[in-house]
A = this chain, B = another copy of it.
């Protein structure tokens, strides 16, 4: 029997077809179209909605405040998506929603258009059924989540009073396992930047100069290895000092989660083996330990064939994920100092900061979290589990800091959804049940 929420697939696909890649300037018109799509959905649902212009991509805001005395939820999502390269690894075109095995494949399917659409439809369905909502809602959808854009981060502090709410509801995370309703209670922060290494004045011929000329790529390798050792331990002095471990209760709960390390390595990652700090359980490494990762290295010659160049410069994109009690500014400084300290002779090296974002921890005893857990348990027929996420959703920290509210992270993605990668997908049964769960959450919170 088809799920009644299948009726929402055409709308979802229309949303997904808009290639709203926020980081590429040529997609500016698509960004605008995606914002207008969201606006139209909110208006059609009966909300008072508008586009908020400003420096950066537009925000879309909507509100329905007709339930005085009831809690107010701030619904957050983002209509922008990641780039699609390497595009030749996509099985179906990245912006043509294609259903295979109960999954819809498309860039943005789960991150975050599909999950944003869950929020929009939950509001629309409830309004349509009852002509009202059991709670007050504000909706704030942004278009720069994937490019670290600043529009929302300037808007929220400047309009804190207008965004007053009891909690935020964010559908931008994932379930721990298929069928296992999940609330995410913690996120890591991020410090992202570039390591710049400079050697000679110009690129040099490796025959004429090899043996005396400094090679910035070799130096970069040395700096990277000095920052993180072969075992995955970060070697920056004092880096781990402030790190707060998870509570014993949390550790015990994580140990009970259905997690098989070999299965995770082979099936989810497709890697020969996991890496990381020895002696620390995988989930704790992912959720409660900081990281250092290299995202790309530029410099020299990487085309077809052979060019014997010693490059004059090399640049590495790097980031640290941070956890509770780490201060972003301190990590930035530690990275900058570590790069300087690790710099070998013959070159100069420096860390150039690009952006940072705070992590967050949510108290599971908050009534808005408790109601969400009950709604999920009811809709999925299994006890809701609390996990953390290893990624960063800067908005969560922002809501906490400027609005003083926790975020209820009710995610419907699955671990194999290929976020930020080719063949991103969304499991359609989760899309259907997600809408039901959010509707039920409104009801329980309004009781």
Interface residue ranges, A against B (CB under 8 Å): 23, 82-83, 86, 89, 147-148, 188, 190, 192, 199-215, 217-218, 220-222, 224-225, 228, 230, 232, 264, 269-277, 282, 285-286, 289, 291, 293-302, 304-311, 315-317, 319, 321, 344-348, 354-355, 389-392, 418-423
Contacts and interface: CB of A to CB of B under 8 A. Distances in A.
Contact of A271 (B200, B275, B319): B200
The winner among A206, A298, A300 for most chain B CB atoms within 10 A is A206
A208 B390 contact: yes
A218 to B, nearest CB: 6
16 contacts: A188-B207, A202-B270, A203-B422, A204-B421, A206-B291, A207-B391, A209-B390, A211-B291, A214-B273, A217-B297, A271-B346, A294-B300, A295-B309, A296-B299, A297-B300, A302-B315
The winner among A293, A321, A423 for most chain B CB atoms within 10 A is A293
B271 A207 contact: no
A297 B315 CA distance: 10
A271 B315 CA distance: 17
B293 A317 contact: no
B213 A308 contact: no
Given A271-B199, A274-B214, A205 B305 contact: no
Contacts of A209: 269, 286, 390
A157 to B, nearest CB: 22
Contacts of A83: 307
A8 to B, nearest CB: 27
Nearest to A194: B306
Given A83-B307, A319-B308, A420-B308, A204 B294 contact: no
A49 to B, nearest CB: 30
Contact of A202 (B282, B309, B421): B421
Given A211-B285, A212-B264, A296-B300, 9 more contacts: A86-B203, A190-B207, A190-B308, A204-B421, A207-B390, A210-B293, A218-B294, A296-B307, A307-B420
A188 B213 CA distance: 16
The winner among A89, A346, A419 for most chain B CB atoms within 10 A is A346
A376 B314 CA distance: 41
Contacts of A192: 306, 308
B210 A390 contact: yes
A296 B390 contact: no
Nearest to A188: B207
Contacts of A203: 86, 420-422
B214 A218 contact: no
Nearest to A202: B421
A205 B89 CA distance: 16
A215 B389 contact: no
A23 to B, nearest CB: 6
Given A208-B286, A310-B293, A272 B391 contact: no
